[in-house]
Structures are given as C-alpha cells and as structure tokens.
Amino acid sequence: MTVAANLEEIRTNIRQACNNSNRDPEEITIIGVTKYVTIERTEETIETGIKNLGENRLEGFLEKYNYIQDRATWHFIGTLQSRKVKEIIDKIDVVHSLDRKSLAKEINKRSKKPIDCFVQVNVSGEESKHGLAPDEVIFFIESIANYENIRIVGLMTMAPHVDDEETIRNIFRNLATLRNTVQEKNLEFAPCHYLSMGMSNDYKIAIEEGATHIRIGSKLVGSEN
Ligand SMILES: *Cc1c(COP(=O)(O)O)cnc(C)c1O
C-alpha cells in the first residue's frame, strides 16, 4: 500500500472518531512514525503532506534527519538517555518522553531555545512501560517550573497491547482527566493543552477520548523496509 492510500483510510477513521465524539478533525495532528522504514518511504510520507515525523531511537532519528533535515517537524517519541540529549536536542522539535527530572535538567541545559515536551505517564502501571505514575505527575511538573527551556505542552501515554477496548479506553480517559488537572493549575510554563495518545491499533479510541496527537507507524508508513 502507498502511504497516500493508508493516509486516506486513516483520515476516514479520524473523521468517524471525531463524529462519534463531537470533535473537529482539525484538532488532530498525525505523527508519522518512520522507525520501521527506509529514507525512501520517509520521503514518500512527506510527499503526502504529513509534516510531523516521529522516531524512537537516537540512531534511527539521526539517520533520517541527515536526509530530511527541517523539511519535517521532528518528534522524539522513545526513551531518551540524558547523556545523549546533546546529540539531538538542536535537531528535534518536540519530546514526547519526558519522564524524569534528570532528563529535564539536561534538556534545559543543552537546548538553546524552549523545547515543547510531553510528560510521559505510565497510566496502565505495566512494569515494562516507561513514564511517571499518574500520582507523581503534578509534583514533577511543579518541580521543573524554573527550567526556562522546557515547555510542558501535554501528556503522553502508551496503552497496553490488549484486545479489551474498555481497558484501553479507560487508560486514555484517565490521561485526559490528569491533563485537565494540570491545565487547571494555569502554569505559564505548562499550558498542557495536548494529549499524545493512540497508535496504529488504538488511535480511534484515543481520538474519542481526546487525543490531539496520534503516533502512527505500521498502519501509515508501514512496518518493514
Ligand atoms: C513505534 C511507536 C509508535 C507507533 O507504533 P505503531 O503501532 O506501529 O503505530 C507510537 N508511539 C511510540 C512511542 C512508538 O515507539
């Protein structure tokens, strides 16, 4: 399948999910996750009009960035080691995996401009998942108030790989509730308007529960070279 054909199907599903939940499809940003695919396929993705690309590993990101440069807005969606921050921070636009103070400190120190960050939350509580526990999020955000190069634009989570739709829906709903709590604090450095949630298998549910940024790899750009 071409990326364009995949995108058409995804847009149809987005419209439907927005219809179900009284939302405007314009509120949804599609992040094309290119971690599984080649440079050629990444170029094809950009040609469809997708401007936001996501990578989850440093090496994969740098390889793509070398070719694409700033023809895309770059989202770093994977675990980021503090000591690697300096290698990529001037090349990425958005970090989706802020989950600890040491990482915030390093980003703040190394970046020359404010970076939009999502705080990653482990809503499901699975041990294999990264992210802060929900009850740690407010304290964490308040603790980085004086980091002038960090802007908390939203919260991010990954749902578990389960078939039960209600389980997934509850996780997304809990993240939305937590986002509202942060928003109500009216922190200047943490507007926290956005929700980065939903991947190939669960983006429709995520949109119905308020996602503003969906991260789609296999069903948009493909899962192999
Ligand atoms: C790989 C990845 C995605 C995309 O996964 P698909 O299921 O292929 O859509 C989204 N978010 C993160 C954090 C990922 O690592």
pTM above 0.95, yes or no: yes
What confidence category does residue 126 fall into, taking pLDDT thresholds of 50, 70 and 90?
Answer: confident
Describe the chain by its helix, strand, coil percentages, rounded to 5: 45, 20, 40
| CATH for the 3-216 domain, from 3.40.50.1010, 3.20.20.10, 3.40.720.10, 3.30.1330.10 | 3.20.20.10
Amino acid at 94: V
Instruction: Verify whether ligand 1 is closer than 6 Å to residue 217 (CB atom).
Output: yes
What pLDDT, in 10s, does the model give residues 158-211?
A: 999 899 999 999 999 999 999 999 999 999 999 999 999 999 999 999 999 999
State the average pLDDT over residues 3-32.
98
* Paired residues of 119 in beta bridges: 98, 155
Sequential DSSP letters for 201-219? TTHHHHHHTT-SEEEE-TT
> Does position 125 have pLDDT exceeding 50, yes or no?
yes
- Residue 13 confidence (pLDDT): 98
What pLDDT, in 10s, does the model give residues 133-158?
A: 999 999 999 999 999 999 999 999 99
What pLDDT, in 10s, does the model give residues 38-49?
A: 999 999 999 999
HSE-up of 198 (CA within 13 Å, CB side)? 30
Q: Which residue from 1, 30, 33 has its CB within 8 A of the most atoms of ligand 1, so it is best to mutate? A: 33
Instruction: Using the structure block, give the residue that is written with the tokens 């936001």.
Output: 52
> Does position 53 have pLDDT exceeding 70, yes or no?
yes
Cα four-point dihedral sign 7, 9, 12, 17:
negative
Instruction: Verify whether ligand 1 is closer than 6 Å to residue 197 (CB atom).
Output: no
Q: Is the separation of the CB atoms in 174 and 206 below 8 Å?
A: no
Distances (CA, A) of 26 to 15, 29, 91, 136, 205: 10, 8, 26, 32, 17
What pLDDT, in 10s, does the model give residues 63-117?
A: 999 999 999 999 999 999 999 999 999 999 999 999 999 999 999 999 999 999 9
What confidence category does residue 225 fall into, taking pLDDT thresholds of 50, 70 and 90?
Answer: very low
- Residue 224 confidence (pLDDT): 66
Instruction: Verify whether ligand 1 is closer than 6 Å to residue 210 (CB atom).
Output: no
Instruction: Verify whether ligand 1 is closer than 6 Å to residue 220 (CB atom).
Output: no
Nearest CA to ligand 1 atom 11: 215
Q: Any alpha helices (H) in 76-155, and if so which ranges?
A: 85-88, 101-110, 137-143
DSSP assigned state of 82: G
- Residue 192 confidence (pLDDT): 98
Neighbours of 107 (CB within 10 A): 24
Instruction: Verify whether ligand 1 is closer than 6 Å to residue 200 (CB atom).
Output: yes
- Residue 116 confidence (pLDDT): 98
